[in-house]
A and B are shown apart, each in its own frame.
Chain A
Amino acid sequence: MPGGNRSISAACWLTDAKEEPVIPGPFAYHRPASLREAVALLAELGEEARPLAGGHSLVPMMKLRLATPAHLVDLVGVKELKGIRAEGNDIVIGAMTTQHELIGSDLLATKIPILRETSLVIADPQVRYVGTLGGNVANGDPGNDMPAVMLCLGASYQVSGRGGERRIPAREFYQGAYFTALEPGEIITAVRIPVPPSGHGSAYEKLKRKVGDYATAAAAVVLTVSSGNIATCSIGLTNVAETPLWAEEAARIVVGSALDAASVKRAVSAAEAITAPATDNRGPAHYRTKMAGVMVARALARAKDRARG
């Protein structure tokens, strides 16, 4: 596993010094046709098995032999893991829904537009055709974009394992780089998102060096406005710590304000204070902290512009 905050993408780009193997190690391939079968397989095969969703994090790691699972359980044939549907005040998105499908969903474009905006800055078109929401949030890579958005939205993950089903709030899910609340053998089956109030404003601001790169720093904002003042606000940060961050204090500071310069400055400081980025080829730590602040300020401004009320 890459240490600290160095993501797999960085690992791939740093291989010029020596030849790395590009052929994955051997494994047995399984393609269960139902969720029950998939969960049973993962339970039976234990820690030697990994679930395979879109594979665009796992396969590169397998090529570098940073992951050498003896079994891959491909979830592509599990129909229960597909689809986007409204359920009461929530929208439930099957874990195997691809970013391409998120971008194309009219329901999401209307109800939770930040998902489309975020999907469009993940990797590139080819990766988005196969990359899944479930994989993006389950992997625990701090460079993934969706986790911070899920913290921001107050989403929860529906999980299945040998012990049955449970629901884990996104805000309690991330424990460290590649370490999550998932128990061995458990998989995320769906992401449940409470629909933000109609008229809310949102924005995902991502600074990256080039298309396809992980964020140098990124910020997700969802807010509501009442009589020109911020009524509610939630802020998530991507790739500026070992886990995605929920910037609770920064959000609290802007609530009640008209997003005046002084409030934004204090919120930016509060957001910067909780970051702990690694110095890597995206820049030194203090730069990435400052960029997280810049992303917060931009996302706040854009979300407010988009809000009604």
Chain B
Amino acid sequence: MTVNGEAVEALVEPRTLLIHFLREQLNLTGPHIGCDTSHCGACTVDLDGKSVKSCTIFAVQASGADVRTVEGMAAADGTLHALQEGFREMHGLQCGFCTPGMIMRAYRLLQEISSPTEDEIRQGIAGNLCRCTGYQNIVKAIQYAAAKISGVPFQEAAE
């Protein structure tokens, strides 16, 4: 498979979950193990143009696939992706545990809907749980990124 643009070849036991392969064999610890029951979304990665919960997919199912994790978001020179910048600027995280999953989900959402409404964002991240922020600033962070990617000024909605 390809992970963050690099070809990766490995032998795994069939029962190895993708999340364990990424974290333990590739040392990509951005994707987190939250609930292990496909509810929380902290393990979300991008796989062949889909957001998937890597705790509920076997690594062998991803054989030949193109996978992106949060480690593959910033540019090679360290410049943050618009979503990462949005989460920083809009205070879209507190403890940060859900953030890699949120960013990877939002990444795919913005590929599908370039300027989503607030409702579309909330529906779009419905599979990602955050126990700190109350989601308000996560929504703002995604709106910030959408505006930046589209090249329009970001305007915070009046409270």
Q: How long is the Cα–Cα vector from A152 to B158 in the complex, in angstroms?
A: 45
Q: Which residue of B lies closest to A128 (CB)?
A: B127
Q: A59-B56, A76-B61 are in contact. Are A212 and B126 (CB under 8 A)?
A: yes
Known contacts A125-B105, A126-B51, A212-B39: A59-B57 contact under CB 8 Å: yes
Query: What residues on A are CB-neighbors of B123 within 8 Å?
Result: 125
Q: Is B36 on the interface with A (CB-CB < 8 A)?
A: yes
- Which one of A22, A27, A74, A124 has the highest number of Cβ atoms from chain B below 10 Å of its Cβ? A124
Contact mask for chain B residues 105-124; partner A; CB cutoff 8 A; 1 contact, 0 none: 10001000000000000011
Query: Is the CB–CB distance between B52 and A130 below 8 Å?
Result: yes
Q: Total number of A-B contacts with CB less than 8 angstroms?
A: 79
A127 and B37 contact, CB distance less than 8 A: no
Of B37, B52, B60, B61, the contact of A129 (CB 8 Å cutoff): B52
Q: Which of B117-141 contact A (CB under 8 A)?
A: 123-127
Given A56-B56, A60-B37, A126-B41, are A26 and B13 neighbors across the interface (CB < 8 Å)?
yes
Cβ of A26: which chain B residues have Cβ within 8 Å of it? Answer: 13-15
Residues of A within 8 A of B36 (CB): 22, 63
In the assembled complex, A192 has its CB within 8 A of some CB on chain B: no
Minimum CB–CB distance from B118 to chain A (whole Å) comes to 16
- Indicate the size class of the contact surface on chain A: 20 to 34
Min Cβ gap A124→B in Å is 3
Which chain B residues border A24 with CB–CB below 8 Å?
A: 15, 17
Interface centre among A15, A74, A126, A212 (most CB of B within 10 A): A126
In contact, B127 and A27 (Cβ under 8 angstroms): no
Q: B56, A60: Cβ atoms under 8 Å?
A: yes
| Pair B14/A124 contact, Cβ less than 8 Å | no
Task: Please tell me which one of the listed residues A15, A25, A76 contacts residue B15 in the complex, with CB atoms under 8 A apart.
Answer: A25
Residues of A with C-beta under 8 A to B39: 12, 212
Q: How far is the CA of A25 from the CA of B123 in the complex (A)?
A: 34
The CA-CA distance from A59 to B56 in the complex, in Å, is 6
Check if B58 sits within 8 Å of A126, measured CB to CB.
Answer: no
On chain B, the residues within 8 Å of A56 by CB distance are: 38, 56
Q: Is residue B53 contacting chain A, with contact meaning CB distance below 8 A?
A: yes
Q: Are A23 and B38 in contact (CB under 8 A)?
A: no
Known: A60-B38, A126-B127, A211-B126. 7 other contacts (CB 8 A): A12-B37, A13-B37, A26-B14, A29-B14, A74-B60, A76-B61, A129-B51
Binding site for B on A (CB under 8 A): 12-13, 15, 22-29, 31, 52, 55-56, 59-60, 62-63, 72, 74, 76, 100, 123-127, 129-130, 211-212
Closest 9 CB pairs of A and B: A124-B127, A29-B14, A129-B50, A12-B37, A211-B126, A126-B127, A22-B36, A24-B15, A29-B60
